[in-house]
């Protein structure tokens, strides 16, 4: 006798499917179109719902959760404004290829298109910023669509998937069966790299005299840090990471020569400019990384490994493209390289000369800043945080100067510890994403390095932090300016600081206290370390540390737009010969 | 250079807008687009004509391939193929010479007069896009009342079908 399947309502199917998918946390905000679902959530204990205070916070929190754990972040919002508020977070995840599954409520099917209350075309509005989206037209399709959504979000090049569920579908009933596997004729990501291409690449890699490894966020998403580290170590080649790739290779290792790009290190950018073979791994040649494309890596043959064929040769022509999962491709490459050590010995002298050159570039100490200042230097705060957390904290950030200082001065030795909006550059990301990370890892130190302009963009989530007991440490590098806007206005607009000064700022200590947290205001450089120690010792408290920092400090070094990697600007006091 | 790209698409609501949205979002050129279901009603065939450098057309095919509803993408320029577009056009003859010119031009282009109503001629031509362009430019602008073009359809002459 065939097993009799349960008949469930759409709302119950939603909850059961999440359970069967292994979802532990759901970030959401209720509203009319999702009330049936919220009623079903009330009656179950498998999935913990985290009530955010704004839907943007839900998507960022789920995003932070996903970046830190590698598991998909899951969001539930209502129709109309619930969906539109979530868009910024969805687009943020899309630009950085983060797996999210976002459920949006929709008005009942018969009202779609009638300009009903809280109706918006969520499918249309999210289409350009999702990997895929679904409108559920029939309760019988719901379980399969949820399975497909998780499969698409997490496979190949990951990304956000939106599932739009009309209210009446959540009231309808049908037999529940959650599919074990999904097979889609229109979607099958490539995993193994082409063996011929891998062989060609290994030959070129071994022939290099001035090699360079440039790896990005794809290595972290593809869980390939171990393979990348082995790859670099076999070869003893210099390696740089993109902003999104930090932590994929240990930053304290001597082969690591810093981040590259607009605010990358001098040595990384000079090595890019002068290399003869460039191995790009899980990176997408973003404009903040390449500088002027006309001047990009003029002497290099380029190998590019990426799971997404459309990333290859999009901005920069490539000599040897390899489409495949980075972990698989690197494993295959390492196997070949391990058995070709004698070939490496042949080039040892050239490689030594190349390293000598790179060490000379490093000796410029491009990240130098005034360590004697009594005014708080933001770099000093990040450096101290790194020391006091032994480089082991999860660090989220917002967008701007503080983000660059975090990337430059917090040396990430492990993947998934550096959580920032690299692609979309979303202010307001830091606080909710830190909350998401802390939920995933309650015993780890989670700090949000932010600035006063970014922090206030999603400050309402302090309330969520209190409700769910997610004690995060907020490092507010408060320079009373939108720092990066101010920096560009100083450099490129003759110091006309148009609307970049934050007048009438709140008292951040009182804000922290009014939300039930702790606040510390730090005004002198000498107090930085003790304040950080104090905050870190308050294990159960969310703490806002309001560091009153040097207003004139700029992020250096810098490649201005239209310049190449070899045309870096070191600082206002120092110019290159 | 002109490229004809043939797509197999899941026949689902919104699939077409994923394709057209991609072209506008990435500033790709689109000259014509035609779409209809295939012998398998779950799949649609979409034929689109675009222009761009090799690098841009490579990006177009890659980006199209990335769309989850797209089953197969083929740049027909890489195959021997035939291309056809349907033109429906209304022409108005004002003087006797116009009637002659219309009939002569339609004959020259192997077209068909499908309806005549006093001075109004409705004409059908099926040919390559270039031939249809040529037909329209050959006619005196003064004669043309309305032009409707289907956009190109194209099929490879290979013994294999473009299938999923």
Residues above pLDDT 70, as percent of chain A: 99
Which residue, among B62, B64, B70, B163, would best test binding to A if mutated, counting the most A CBs under 10 Å from its CB? B62
pLDDT in tens, A39-83: 999 999 999 999 999 999 999 999 999 999 999 999 999 999 999
Closest Cα in chain A, distance from residue B2 (Å): 20
Residues on chain B touching A127 (C-beta within 8 angstroms): 14, 17-18, 21
Catalytic: which of A21, A55, A227, A267? A55
Q: With an 8 Å Cβ cutoff, are A127 and B164 in contact?
A: no
Which tokens in the block code for residue A138?
A: 């029939």
Give burial (CB, 10 Å; 0-12/13-18/19+) of A196.
exposed
pTM over 0.80: yes
Q: With an 8 Å Cβ cutoff, are A128 and B14 in contact?
A: no
pLDDT in tens, A518-569: 999 999 999 999 999 999 999 999 999 999 999 999 999 999 988 999 999 9
List, in sequence order, every residue forming a beta bridge with B9; answer none if it has no partner.
Answer: B44, B70
Select from A133, A167, A119, A156 the least CA-distant residue to A14.
Answer: A167
Residues above pLDDT 90, as percent of chain A: 95
Residues on chain A touching B55 (C-beta within 8 angstroms): 313, 317
Residues on chain B touching A185 (C-beta within 8 angstroms): 71, 164
Report yes or no for ipTM above 0.90.
Answer: yes
Q: Is A131 on the interface with B (CB under 8 A)?
A: yes
Contact A100, A160 (CB under 8 A): yes
A484 is catalytic: yes
Q: With an 8 Å Cβ cutoff, are B70 and A185 in contact?
A: no
Residues on chain A touching B64 (C-beta within 8 angstroms): none
Q: With an 8 Å Cβ cutoff, are A124 and B55 in contact?
A: no
* Size (chain B), residues: 164
Catalytic: which of A24, A71, A111, A118? A118
Mean pLDDT within A253-257: 98
pLDDT at A368 exceeding the cut of 80: yes
pLDDT at A1 exceeding the cut of 60: no
Q: Is A135 on the interface with B (CB under 8 A)?
A: yes
Residues on chain A touching B164 (C-beta within 8 angstroms): 185-186
A14 is catalytic: no
Closest Cα in chain B, distance from residue A186 (Å): 4
| Ordered per-residue pLDDT tens for chain B, 164 residues | 999 999 999 998 899 999 999 999 999 999 999 999 999 999 999 999 999 999 999 999 999 999 999 999 999 999 999 999 999 999 999 999 999 999 999 999 999 999 999 999 999 999 999 999 999 999 999 999 999 999 999 999 988 887 76
Q: With an 8 Å Cβ cutoff, are A127 and B62 in contact?
A: no
Q: Is A310 on the interface with B (CB under 8 A)?
A: yes
Q: What is the pLDDT of residue B164?
A: 62
Backbone angles phi, psi at B35, to 5 degrees: -150, 140
Q: Is A185 on the interface with B (CB under 8 A)?
A: yes
The Cα angle at residue A341 between residues A338 and A344, in degrees rounded to 5:
125
Span between the terminal Cα atoms of chain A, in Å: 84
pLDDT in tens, A438-474: 999 999 999 999 999 999 999 999 999 999 999 999 9
Which alpha helices (H) appear in A243-368, and where do they start and end?
Answer: 266-274, 287-290, 326-338, 341-346, 348-362
A111 is catalytic: no
A167 is catalytic: yes
């Amino acid at each position: 006798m065939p097993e009799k399947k349960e008949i469930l309502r759409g709302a119950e199917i939603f909850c059961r499917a999440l359970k069967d998918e292994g979802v532990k946390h759901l970030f959401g905000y209720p509203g009319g179109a999702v009330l049936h679902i919220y009623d079903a959530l009330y009656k179950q204990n498998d999935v913990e719902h985290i009530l955010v205070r704004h839907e943007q916070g839900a998507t960022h929190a789920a995003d932070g959760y996903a970046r830190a754990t590698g598991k998909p972040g899951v969001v539930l919002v209502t129709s109309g404004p619930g969906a539109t508020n979530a868009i910024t977070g969805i687009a943020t995840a899309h630009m950085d290829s983060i797996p999210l599954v976002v459920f949006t409520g929709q008005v009942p099917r018969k009202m779609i298109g009638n300009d009903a209350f809280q109706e918006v075309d969520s499918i249309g509005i999210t289409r350009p910023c999702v990997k895929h989206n679904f409108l559920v037209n029939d309760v019988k399709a719901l379980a399969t669509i949820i399975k497909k959504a998780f499969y698409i979000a997490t496979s190949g090049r990951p990304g956000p998937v939106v599932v739009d569920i009309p209210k009446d579908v959540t009231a309808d009933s049908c037999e529940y069966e959650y599919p074990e596997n999904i097979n889609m004729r229109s979607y099958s990501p490539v995993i193994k790299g082409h063996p011929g291409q891998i062989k060609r690449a290994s030959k070129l890699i071994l022939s290099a005299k001035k090699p360079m490894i440039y790896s990005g966020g794809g290595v972290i998403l593809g869980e390939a840090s171990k393979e990348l580290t082995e790859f670099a170590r076999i070869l003893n080649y210099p390696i740089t990471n993109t902003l999104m790739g930090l932590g994929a290779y240990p930053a304290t290792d001597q082969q690591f020569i810093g981040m590259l790009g607009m605010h990358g290190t001098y040595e990384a950018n000079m090595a890019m400019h002068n290399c003869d073979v460039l191995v790009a791994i899980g990176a997408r040649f973003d404009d903040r990384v390449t500088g002027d494309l006309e001047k990009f890596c003029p002497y290099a043959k380029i190998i590019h490994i990426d799971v997404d064929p459309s990333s290859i040769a999009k901005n920069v022509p490539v000599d040897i493209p390899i489409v495949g999962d980075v972990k698989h491709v690197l494993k295959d490459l390492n196997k070949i390289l391990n058995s070709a050590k004698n070939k490496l010995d042949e080039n040892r002298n050239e490689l030594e000369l190349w390293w000598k050159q790179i060490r000379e570039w490093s000796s410029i100490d491009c990240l130098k800043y005034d360590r004697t200042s009594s005014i708080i230097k933001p770099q000093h705060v990040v450096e101290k945080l790194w020391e006091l957390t032994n480089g082991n904290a999860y660090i989220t950030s917002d967008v701007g100067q503080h983000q660059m200082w975090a990337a430059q001065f917090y040396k990430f030795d492990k993947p998934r510890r550096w959580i920032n909006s690299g692609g979309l550059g979303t202010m307001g990301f830091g606080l909710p994403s830190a909350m998401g990370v802390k939920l995933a890892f309650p015993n780890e130190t989670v700090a949000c390095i932010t600035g006063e302009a970014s922090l206030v963009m999603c400050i309402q989530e302090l309330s969520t932090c209190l409700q769910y007991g997610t004690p995060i440490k907020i490092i507010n590098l408060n320079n009373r300016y939108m720092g990066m806007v101010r920096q560009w206005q100083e450099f490129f607009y003759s110091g006309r600081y148009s609307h970049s000064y934050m007048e009438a700022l709140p008292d951040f200590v009182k804000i922290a206290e009014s939300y039930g947290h702790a606040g510390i205001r730090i005004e002198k450089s000498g107090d930085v370390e003790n304040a950080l120690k104090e905050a870190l010792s308050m294990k159960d408290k969310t703490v806002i540390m309001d560091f009153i920092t040097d207003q004139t400090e700029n992020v250096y070094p810098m490649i201005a737009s239209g310049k190449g990697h070899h045309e870096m600007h070191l600082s206002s006091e120092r110019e290159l010969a | 250079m002109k490229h004809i790209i043939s797509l197999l698409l899941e026949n689902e609501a919104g699939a077409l807008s994923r394709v057209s949205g991609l072209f506008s979002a990435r500033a790709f050129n689109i000259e014509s687009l035609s779409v209809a279901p295939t012998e398998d009603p779950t799949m649609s065939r979409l034929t689109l004509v675009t222009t761009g450098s090799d690098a841009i057309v490579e990006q177009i095919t890659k980006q199209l391939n990335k769309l989850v509803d797209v089953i197969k993408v083929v740049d027909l320029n890489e195959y021997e193929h035939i291309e056809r577009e349907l033109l429906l056009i209304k022409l108005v003859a004002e003087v006797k010479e116009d009637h002659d010119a219309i009939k002569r031009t339609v004959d020259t282009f192997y077209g068909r007069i499908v309806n005549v109503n006093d001075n109004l001629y409705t004409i059908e031509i099926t040919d390559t896009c270039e031939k249809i362009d040529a037909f329209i430019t050959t006619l005196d602008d003064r004669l043309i009342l309305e032009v409707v073009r289907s956009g190109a359809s194209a099929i490879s002459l290979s013994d294999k079908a473009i299938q999923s």
